[in-house]
Structure 1
Amino acid sequence: MKKILMLILIIFSTNIFSSVKKLETADFKLILSSQNMREEKDERIDINKASKVEMLGRKVTSSYVDKIIEYREITGGFYKLEELKRIKGIREATYKKLAKLFKIEKQIEKKPLYINSADDDILKYYGFSQKEIKEIRNYIQKNDRIVDNIELKKVINKTMYDKLKDNIRYEEKKN
């Protein structure tokens, strides 16, 4: 009986070792089922198109939703998500939270900026600093208005001028 058991054990272990040897040299194909694969979905919504309902559904507070929509209506939309920081009440911490919810799918065309009639909030929406806004206000107060690009170049820095020159209008806004 012992001899038979020994013989079975030897045969069994030989089969196992030969199977392992075959496994070592075999080519394997990795097959993943669609059930096991986890797709990385981009759950963010387009800040330039999202409706009030969609934003509220993402737990964006009503006051921020209203400000985001107002920004879009005034400027034409967002080139970059960093523009959220131009909105009153949105600082770095809030921006970081909001940036996780939004994306920009395609570039928009900014609306014209009527420099002589824009209030401080609108100037800020277009990216002017407090210092630049003050300089624009002082210039308009002294000269009644900014007439053209030549005058505007005297008031704001070159980088800002280059960024906005195609969108700035000097006549009064037509309603």
Structure 2
Amino acid sequence: MKITETFIKGCFIIQPKIYEDNRGLFFESFKENDLEIAVGKSINFVQDNQSTSKKGTLRGLHFQKGEFAQSKLVNVPYGEVLDVVVDIRTESATYGKYFKIKLSSKNHTSLYVPRGLAHGFLSLQENTVFNYKCDNYYHNESEGGILYNDLELGIDWEHDNENLIISEKDRGLPSFKNLLL
């Protein structure tokens, strides 16, 4: 397993070693001790979530605040997404910067998203399945978000914005400059 930190501190790309032969393939999709060594702390995932999305569905940018903040380990067992994280840690050197990566059932790559980052993704294939391991339980009153097309962030979603499928809730999220943490 290869674990590489992105330019956003604490955010890691995880690429498994794939073993493939005439039967198919095998890989370790999660190995706690390797991730804990890379991250530098113990991680206790307590909740797994899964979504299925139509092609062109954009979910995000979401986060949990305060004592309910969550670190996440995300991957795509079926389909492909453009995954995006935004650093909303005001003390961070990369505050307001974003990182994006394609996660798919072909590359088997995962992304570790630390607490203090907003997260979203765009489904690039029909019926894409997206998995999240979270280190804290979801708490509705602690939910926050940022508008996906915020001008200050300038995220390139690499897709025609007119054909995106976005919930009304996500369309009504605040801009980055109006973010209340």
Task: Decide: shared fold, TM above 0.5.
Answer: no
More strand by share: 2
Greater relative contact order, per chain length (Cα 8 Å cut-off, separation 6+)? 2
Q: Normalized per residue, which structure has more helix?
A: 1
TM-score by length of structure 2 reads 0.28
